[in-house]
């Protein structure tokens, strides 16, 4: 592990006891205490580069004040434009930010765009009320008022997920501050239930990254190995990649659970990133609060079993970095300038790659996803429904195997980063996933398979993993 990875791990681990300290605190202490801890962590890890996050916050707040009815698009343009400037600092001869500054900037971009969207929704709802002449009462997920500058700063620098996620909306943050009877919300048992696989994943990460170091792929000697060895190598590289993020995101979720952050009654049917999808009245007494069943789906960022055992490439996206996937679907996919599912996915993946950084490997990897989506959608709709139940089960196993190999392949671009290293590795295995996807797409088109956006595929199992192991 690098020194940066050790720092991330320490930050994640200390957030757990800090969460227990804040859980039963009042709204004021939660707001300003959590912001003070987050700002302290930012200053400690980013130093003077903390100024970038402050400029981004102030710019977004100014846009919200100036144009509340259209601030979402303006905030998206501002924060994404600042990301370009932020990543071009070294080219401009300015000090290069630390990796921690980049992590803070990434999460902050998501939060500020979401905040602007929530303010815009509030403004539009208020205009409708004024036009109709009567008030409908509180709506699900709507803010009570426009946050002040200090409230925006407290949300932006809240220590929860400040470097690793999960992403959360301002409405989720407010619900935590105003949580009725927080002592009745369970924390310790859900935390232990969530944390138990993390040590195993950590050991598997250390073992796999030691036995199959990524740096070997950058050496000339690697390409003297036989084709099967080169082809196999991407499997343990993606395995180590998954284990690393499983540990980080589980630890980040545990920090939220310790604080009771993102806890909602099960009846509210909360979604990762988005929060409750059903209105659920707050409990009126500690006894009623204690009688409710809660979950932490709002801050759930990874479904490990779903990621490993889901059948389709499409489903794998939903189980990975779940709160960010919700953000992308809500604020990028839905507003895409095209209507086709595959083209909308391509637009979303392009902006996702840009959000991650400017390294060519990100774009090569993310823009391979739409090709895989089109191929599996066309071929599945053309063939799977014609098979017997037993043949469909065999199809799902083959589909799962190819899905995992596709993600292995795309992961190499994500971790190698450079254009030369990525293309060199892909060329050494003859661009096999690209060729396979194109062949599957061509076969699906020849057999009359429908577009994923227009024609539903035959019903299928979404996961091959044992249901009892799923982290529901």
Q: Mean pLDDT, the chain, as a whole number?
A: 92
pLDDT in tens, 309-322: 999 999 999 999 99
pTM exceeds 0.85? yes
pLDDT digits (tens, 9 = 90+) for 431-448: 999 999 999 999 999 988
Residue recorded with tokens 């792929």: 217
Are the beta carbons of 336 and 328 closer than 8 angstroms?
no
**Rounded CA separation 105/86 (Å):** 9
Helices 50-66, 71-87: axis angle to 10 degrees equals 160
Residue with tokens 């796999």: 208
Contact 278, 212 (CB under 8 A): no
Report the alpha-carbon distance of residue 458 to residue 148 in Å, rounded.
50
Choose among 411, 409, 413: nearest CA to 435: 409
The residue that leads in pLDDT, 196 or 340, is: 196
List for the chain the helix, strand, coil content (%; round to 5): 70, 0, 30
Total Cβ atoms within 10 A of residue 153: 18
**Domain ranges across the chain:** 3-131+143-178, 187-445
CA 297 to chain centre: 13
pLDDT at 460: 58
pLDDT tens digits, one per residue of 14-64: 999 999 999 999 999 999 999 999 999 999 999 999 999 999 999 999 999
- Provide the percentage of residues in the chain whose pLDDT is more than 90: 81
Q: How many CB atoms lie within 10 A of CB 93?
A: 6
Q: Which three-class secondary structure string do you get for 321-369?
A: CHHHHHHHHHHHHCCCCCCCHHHHHHHHHHHHHHHHCCCHHHHHHHCCH
Overall size of the chain counted in residues: 472
- Residue 466: other Cβ atoms inside 10 A: 9
Q: What is the pLDDT of residues 216-275, one digit of tens each?
A: 999 999 999 999 999 999 999 999 999 999 999 999 999 999 999 999 999 999 999 999
pLDDT, tens digit, 9 for 90 and up, residues 270-304? 999 999 999 888 888 898 989 999 999 999 999 99
- Residue 1, pLDDT above cutoff 80: no
Tell me the C-alpha to C-alpha distance, in Å, between residue 340 and each of 205, 334, 433.
Answer: 38, 11, 23
Torsion angle, alpha carbons of 18, 23, 26, 29, to 10: 10
d(CA 76, CA 197): 37
Q: For residue 141, what are its two tokens?
A: 């997920």
- Calculate what percentage of the chain has a pLDDT beyond 70: 95
* Of the candidates 166, 177, 186, 165, the residue with the CA atom closest to the CA atom of residue 35: 177
CA 154 to chain centre: 22
Q: What is d(CA 407, CA 77) in angstroms, rounded to the nearest whole number?
A: 30
Q: Who contacts 471 (Cβ-Cβ below 8 Å, separation ≥6)?
A: 194, 300, 303, 304, 305
What backbone torsions phi and psi does residue 464 show, to the nearest 5 degrees?
-100, -5
Cβ count near 218 (within 10 Å): 14
Q: HEC string of 285-328?
A: CHHHHHHCCEECHHHCCCCHHHHHHECCHHHHHHHCCHHHHHHH
């Amino acid at each position: 592990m690098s020194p940066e990875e050790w720092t991330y791990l320490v930050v994640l681990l200390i957030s757990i006891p800090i969460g227990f300290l804040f859980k039963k605190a009042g709204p004021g202490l939660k707001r300003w205490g959590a912001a003070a801890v987050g700002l302290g962590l930012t200053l400690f890890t980013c130093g003077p580069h903390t100024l970038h996050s402050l400029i981004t916050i102030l710019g977004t707040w100014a846009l919200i004040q100036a144009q509340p009815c259209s601030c979402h698009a303006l905030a998206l343009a501002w924060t994404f434009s600042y990301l370009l400037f932020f990543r071009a600092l070294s080219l401009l001869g300015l000090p290069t930010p630390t990796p921690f500054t980049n992590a803070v900037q990434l999460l902050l971009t998501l939060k500020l765009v979401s905040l602007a969207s929530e303010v815009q929704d509030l403004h539009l709802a208020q205009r409708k009320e004024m036009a109709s002449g009567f008030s409908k009462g509180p709506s699900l997920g709507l803010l009570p008022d426009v946050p002040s500058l200090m409230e925006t700063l407290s949300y932006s620098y809240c220590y929860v997920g400040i470097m690793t996620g999960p992403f959360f909306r301002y409405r989720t943050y407010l619900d935590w501050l105003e949580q009725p009877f927080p002592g009745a919300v369970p924390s310790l048992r859900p935390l232990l239930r969530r944390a138990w696989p993390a040590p195993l994943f950590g050991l598997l990460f250390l073992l796999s990254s030691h036995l199959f170091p990524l740096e070997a792929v950058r050496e000339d000697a690697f390409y003297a190995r036989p084709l099967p060895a080169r082809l196999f190598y991407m499997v343990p590289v993606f395995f180590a990649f998954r284990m690393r993020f499983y540990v980080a995101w589980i630890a980040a979720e545990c920090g939220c659970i310790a604080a009771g952050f993102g806890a909602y009654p099960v009846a509210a049917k909360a979604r990762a990133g988005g929060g409750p999808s059903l209105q659920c009245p707050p409990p009126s007494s500690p006894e009623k609060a204690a009688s409710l069943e809660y979950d932490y789906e709002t801050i759930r960022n990874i479904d490990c079993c779903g990621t490993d055992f889901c059948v389709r490439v499409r489903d794998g996206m939903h189980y990975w970095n779940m709160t960010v996937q919700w953000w992308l679907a809500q604020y990028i996919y839905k507003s895409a300038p095209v209507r086709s599912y595959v083209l909308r996915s391509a637009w979303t993946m392009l902006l996702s790659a840009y959000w991650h950084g400017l390294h060519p490997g990100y774009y090569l990897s993310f823009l391979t996803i739409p090709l895989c989506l089109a191929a599996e959608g066309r071929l599945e709709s053309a063939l799977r429904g014609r098979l017997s139940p037993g043949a469909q089960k065999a199809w799902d196993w083959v589909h799962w195997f190819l899905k995992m190999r596709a993600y292995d392949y795309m992961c190499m671009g994500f971790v190698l980063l450079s254009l030369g290293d990525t293309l060199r590795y892909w060329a050494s295995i003859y661009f096999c996933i690209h060729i396979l996807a194109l062949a599957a797409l061509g076969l699906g088109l020849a057999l009359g398979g429908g577009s994923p956006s227009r024609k539903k595929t035959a019903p299928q199992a979404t996961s091959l993993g044992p249901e009892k192991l799923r982290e529901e």
